[in-house]
Amino acid sequence: LRTGDFSMPWFGMDIGGTLTKLVYFEPKDITPDEQDQEAEILRNIRRYLTKNSAYGKTGHRDTHLQMDNVEIRKRRGSLHFIRFQTTDMSNFLLLAKQKGMAELVTTVCATGGGAFKFENEFRQQVNMKLAKFDELDTLIKGILFAEVQNPTECYFYENARDIMKSEKRAFDFSKPYPFILVNVGSGVSILAVYGPDNYKRVSGTSLGGGTFLGLCCLLTGCNSFEEAIQLATKGDNRKVDKLVRDIYGGDYDRFGLTGDLVASSFGQMHIKDKRSSVSREDLANATLVTITNNIGSIARMCALNEKMDKVVFVGNFLRVNPISMKLLAYAMEFWSNGTLKALFLEHEGYFGALGCLLQFNG
Ligand code: ADP
């Protein structure tokens, strides 16, 4: 792929454990000459992607995340953000084939475990070669690019100590280093980032977004992430968890633990009466709170260890999920006595795919 080469569409793809993220660059500065030369297949693909916002069974374009007037490899255009379930990969490949992708000789920059797992399928079905990149390298590249392109990319919660009152506010992330980066996907990776090309993976946990969704489906019979979040919004974890006050009758003053803190997640569910009085909503809420607080706790220890005060949370677990974001903002602030700040980024789960699109030829 040369600078300005439009013989193939520019994609960046992150094939994750749950979701596949696709970032597509739509050139907007095509000259009449180029228009004449542009292969019809390429034009059709561009039209198909940009005219629709739903593709196949599970494909969605997040139109609210579209970035216009960006410059990549000396070309101007728009970035489109598309996701679908990784389990739907065979349908995606079929669709790509129907749109003529197999007739183009294309290389797609890809990251995530699926870039390895599906490599043969891509070549056999749609004649696509995958240029593979590391998912953590591309994650950071994507974040830095988005921050420069979009002045309101980064935000935090004001009044984080009062969840009922906390509100989203823009954060100036133009001098980002150093920071802790917590990527909450199916599982969780935690990085300490010292500079643009200087980071290490300091921790992780298998209790991530996939765990929330899996447990929630088991406990409530729900069938999608959106449904799980909706249930959680209407539920109350205090009917499920054992709080400090359920054990102490009030606060545990000596160590500053107030009565309404969770002492034991799901700690009331061994009691038959309690079990029979909880709703699906309460169970969904308790699952969300359990997973979120555990991630918050590990992230905070990492920040302490690395002596960093900014903790950036990304990944699709935070999609349409203000409960978790507010809870994380609260946890960072409360448990650090205000020294730690939780930050969030608008393009949540797309940074790996975005970084991938940028990686080609540096
Ligand atoms: P991965 O690369 O591991 O797939 P993501 O950053 O894409 O990670 O996050 C996946 C997680 O995002 C899921 O485990 C789930 O908690 C959450 N999620 C958000 N939206 C969806 C969705 N539409 N379908 C499935 N999971 C979703």
- The pLDDT tens digits of the residues spanning 54-105 come to 999 899 999 999 999 999 998 999 999 999 999 999 999 999 999 998 888 7
Cα separation of 48 and 281, whole Å?
A: 39
User: How is residue 342 written in tokens?
Assistant: 């939780």
Q: pLDDT higher for 39 or 247? A: 247
Mutate to test the pocket of ligand 1, among 13, 18, 325 (most ligand atoms within 8 A of CB): 18
How does residue 332 score in pLDDT terms, banded at 50, 70 and 90?
A: very high
Cα–Cα dist 320/7, whole Å: 37
- What amino acid positions are annotated as catalytic residues? 135
What atom in ligand 1 is closest to the CA of residue 18?
A: 4
| Preceding amide of 178 cis, omega within 30 | yes
- Check whether 312 has a pLDDT greater than 60: yes
Strands (E), the chain: 10-15, 19-27, 54-55, 59-61, 67-72, 75-85, 106-111, 128-132, 154-158, 167-170, 179-184, 188-195, 198-205, 242-243, 262-264, 310-314, 341-345
Cα atoms found within 13 Å of the Cα of residue 297, Cβ hemisphere only? 10
The predicted model gives 46-52 an average pLDDT of: 95
The protein residue whose alpha carbon is closest to atom 26 in ligand 1 is 225
In this structure, the residues whose C-beta lies within 6 A of any atom of ligand 1 are 16-19, 112, 185-186, 209-210, 212-213, 225, 315-317, 319, 349
What average pLDDT does the chain have?
95
Q: Quick one: pLDDT at residue 2?
A: 47
ipTM of predicted assembly, 2 dp: 0.99
How many angstroms does the Cα of residue 186 sit away from the middle of ligand 1?
A: 6
pLDDT tens digits, one per residue of 251-288: 999 988 999 999 999 999 999 999 999 999 999 999 99
Q: 174-204, pLDDT tens digit by residue?
A: 999 999 999 999 999 999 999 999 999 999 9
For the record, the structure tokens of 190 come out as: 């935690």
- DSSP state at residue 42: H
Phi, then psi, of 37 in degrees rounded to 5: -85, -20
Tell the residue nearest (CA) to atom 16 of ligand 1: 209
pLDDT category, 1, cuts 50, 70, 90? very low
The rounded Å distance from CA 9 to ligand 1 centre is 26
CA 67 vs CA 11, 70, 77, 196: distances in Å = 14, 7, 9, 22
| pTM to 2 decimal places | 0.96
Helix (H, G, I), strand (E, B) or coil at 271: coil
Question: Ligand 1: which of 20, 225, 313 to mutate, most ligand atoms within 8 Å of CB?
Answer: 225
Contacts of residue 158, Cβ cutoff 8 Å, sequence gap at least 6: 166, 167, 168, 169
Q: How many residues belong to the chain?
A: 362
Tokens representing 341 are 């700040």
- Do residues 325 and 315 make contact, with C-beta atoms less than 8 angstroms apart? no
How far is it, in rounded angstroms, from Cα 41 to Cα 52? 17
Which position has the token pair 């228009």?
35
Ligand 1 centroid–CA 301 distance in Å is 24
130-134 CB contacts, 8 Å cutoff, 24+ apart: 130/13, 131/107, 131/360, 133/109, 133/355, 133/356, 133/359
Q: How far is the CA of 184 from the centre of ligand 1 (A)?
A: 8
